[in-house]
Amino acid sequence: MRVRSNIVMTVAAVALTGLLFPGAAWAQDTQDVWGLAHPTSGELLYTADEAERDALVESGWEARGVAWAAPADSDEPVYRLFSDEGTHLYTADPIECLQLMIGGWTGEGICWYSDEGKALPVIRTDRGYEISSTIPGDSTEIAWYALSGGDVTLETADGITVTGPAGFSETEEFQRVEDEIEKVHQDGHDLGIVLLDLHTGRGISYGASEQRYSASTAKALFCAMIYERHGTAGGNARLVEGAVVDSSNEDYFALFHHYSEEEFFDWLATSGAPNATEPAQAEHYLWISAAETAECWEHIWRWWLTGAEGADELAGLLGRTRHSAMGGLLRQRYDAWCKPGWYEEDWLNIAATNDVGVVFSDCGPYVLVVMTDYGSDFEPLFPIIDALNACHGALCGGSTESLLTGYEERS
């Protein structure tokens, strides 16, 4: 896939001017450089343009977070070039840039700037471009200099994994998430959570790999399979609406007379949940981890972006589900696809209260999965969801305001 910026560099411009490309105007002192991976070739592409980042993610590229931070301006621009073979190259050397263009590469303009203070060397490797912790012995290995490092992934002492800016785990919003997780444990319960920003790859997870009872959240996945595989629910549209919007068990079970369980598990395996299984004591539901649940919802979002037949119809159903803590709280401000699931512990010896989906927030869409072993009790989920939403805002530049007060007043 060829990616072009608004500014296209020409050989003539290089020859006639010493500086060559006008740079973008930036209000801030630094700019983040985002990494993305091509879904098939694995090529790593870098951009400081958030609009380009979002467009690439929505066309199938995988967000890899901030690779490094660059100065908003300097006398040492970095140029991006594109080859006919479908790869990109970056250089701060105008001579190399000109030679490559003469050799057939297409210039795509200034992509960001090198740090004149030479804070962190960025070197060109077979794997892409990496910040070097030491100055290479051969200075020709240095492609340019970054101002500071990018996103980091770490696990806290409490077992929470966070991907975001260095030091984010010390923020008030993150500590609030820690407090809510601790409250669940103090209640004698457990949970798995995933928050994944779909444009940046930033996020939080906890207990995400453990298999948990899906309860009725499985209904959304089954109905997504129907629309993706068949394009329409046809004469079963009423059953799908009942299963998704009203969480009707009767309508959900009736759908299995028209679509097979084998097809459902095949869809799960190819949509991010190859390890999902069916509980022996709860036919048509799932044992599934929060991580694989999140993978499935990302898959649904990406499928919806293609504009495929049935995608908008499914999105419309997911956008008006009932009984959802996530929907009740977050739809005050944002559009949100949600599917709750709950089960009161009984002779089956399983209990669950879950809420999962995609939130279209003021700073971009994100997947949110909260799976607990509370028995049909959504009250504990409200402060957890509120804390996670505020944490997403802090991670990605959106609102960090609590929505609990507005919900309680409306209720």
Is the confidence at residue 410, as pLDDT, over 70?
A: no
| Predicted local distance difference test score (pLDDT) of residue 151 | 95
409 half-sphere exposure, CB direction, 13 A CA radius: 6
Residue of 90 and 27 predicted with greater confidence: 90
How far apart CA 121 and CA 268 sit, in angstroms, is 43
Average pLDDT over residues 187-194: 98
Distances (CA, A) of 135 to 119, 131, 139, 142: 10, 10, 8, 8
Is the confidence at residue 210, as pLDDT, over 80?
A: yes
Q: Which of 173, 154, 162, 223 is nearest to 195 (CA)?
A: 162
Helix residue ranges per DSSP H, 59-138: 94-102
Average pLDDT over residues 370-392: 97
Is the confidence at residue 15, as pLDDT, over 90?
A: no
**323: burial class by Cβ within 10 Å (0-12, 13-18, 19+)?**
middle
Please write the tens of the pLDDT for every residue from 112-144. Answer: 999 999 999 999 888 789 888 666 555 557 899
Confidence of residue 27 (pLDDT cuts 50, 70, 90): very low
Lowest average pLDDT, out of 25-29, 60-64, 198-202, goes to 25-29
Is the confidence at residue 189, as pLDDT, over 70?
A: yes
- Do 213 and 285 form a contact (C-beta atoms < 8 A)? yes
How far apart CA 63 and CA 50 sit, in angstroms, is 11
Query: Pairing state of beta strands 120-125 and 142-146?
Result: antiparallel
Amino acid at 281: Q
Residue of 20 and 231 predicted with greater confidence: 231
| Predicted local distance difference test score (pLDDT) of residue 282 | 82
For the chain, percent of residues with pLDDT exceeding 90: 83
Please tell me the pTM assigned to this model: 0.89
Question: Going edge to edge, which strands form the sheet with 148-149?
Answer: 44-47, 30-37, 62-71, 148-149
Helix, strand or coil, per DSSP, at residue 369: strand
Please write the tens of the pLDDT for every residue from 350-369. Answer: 999 999 999 999 999 999 99
Is the confidence at residue 22, as pLDDT, over 70?
A: no
Please write the tens of the pLDDT for every residue from 60-106. Answer: 999 999 999 999 999 999 999 999 988 999 999 999 999 999 999 99
Is the confidence at residue 241, as pLDDT, over 80?
A: yes
Per-residue tokens: 178? 């820690």
Confidence of residue 10 (pLDDT cuts 50, 70, 90): very low
Lowest average pLDDT, out of 9-23, 50-64, 195-209, goes to 9-23
| Predicted local distance difference test score (pLDDT) of residue 405 | 83
- Domains of the chain, earliest start first: 11-149 (no CATH), 152-410 (3.40.710.10)
For the chain, percent of residues with pLDDT exceeding 70: 90
- Do 173 and 400 form a contact (C-beta atoms < 8 A)? yes
Per-residue tokens: 94? 């105008």
